[in-house]
Amino acid sequence: MQASTSKPEPRTMRTLWRRAGEILREGGPAGLLFLVLGDLGYRRVLILERRVEDAIAPIDSRTPVEFDELDVTEIDAYLGFYDGDTREEVEARFARGDTCYVARDAGQIVCSSWVARATQLIRFLDFRYEIPPSEVYLYDSYTAAGFRGRSVAPALGVYVLEDLRRLGVKRATLVVVPENTANRRARAKTGFRVCGRITRLRIAGRTWHWRSGAR
């Protein structure tokens, strides 16, 4: 268990309402309930893992897209695709060596997934996630609304796994809120399985974390 003191993370009302709508669509009333509980101090996520050395089954996107890495010169294009991050945040990710994989339709970014090799702050939990050598942490996967349900994200996930294997990575992990069933289904298609949980409780400015399962 970890305990710390911190200020609540800032969020704009636009981001909050958009996220609330997504959770209601994807997780139903239970998902929205846990969003409210999260604002009251209780949050939890599932840890999913994938052994990169295991067989990687191909997945074809139902929309013709091309995959590659986002270049540091394309930050404006990325922010035009996803407005949940700031320029400063994206620049900081590149500065610490994180990689952003993207899917493009006619040159436009329609799906993205970030990969970190160094210790990562999970802002949703205010939790520092340690990443051992030869492992990576996947985060901030996002698909443009008009391209969801077309297997674009799973196809990008396969591309990411194949590239990580080429780079010698042995294990990939990520976290997802239990109510985000759409994300869990997409990740299951690329071989990710639940291996643990992280829980956060915040009361009167103090924060406690519990982590269970495999590390």
What integer pLDDT is reported at residue 181 of this predicted model? 87
Residue 109 to residues 19, 69, 83, 115, 171, Cα–Cα distance (Å): 20, 11, 13, 17, 27
191: nearest Cα among 67, 98, 53, 44: 53
What integer pLDDT is reported at residue 103 of this predicted model? 98
Name 215's Cβ contacts closer than 8 Å, sequence gap at least 6. Answer: 132, 196
3-state secondary structure 38-68: HHHCEEEEEEEEEECCCCCCCCCCCCCCEEE
| Separation between Cα atoms, residue 31 and residue 45, nearest integer Å | 12
- The domains located in the chain, with CATH, are 45-196 (3.40.630.30)
What integer pLDDT is reported at residue 82 of this predicted model? 97
Q: Mean pLDDT in runs of 10 for the chain (215 residues)?
A: 44 57 62 58 94 96 97 98 95 97 98 96 93 96 94 96 98 94 90 96 89 82
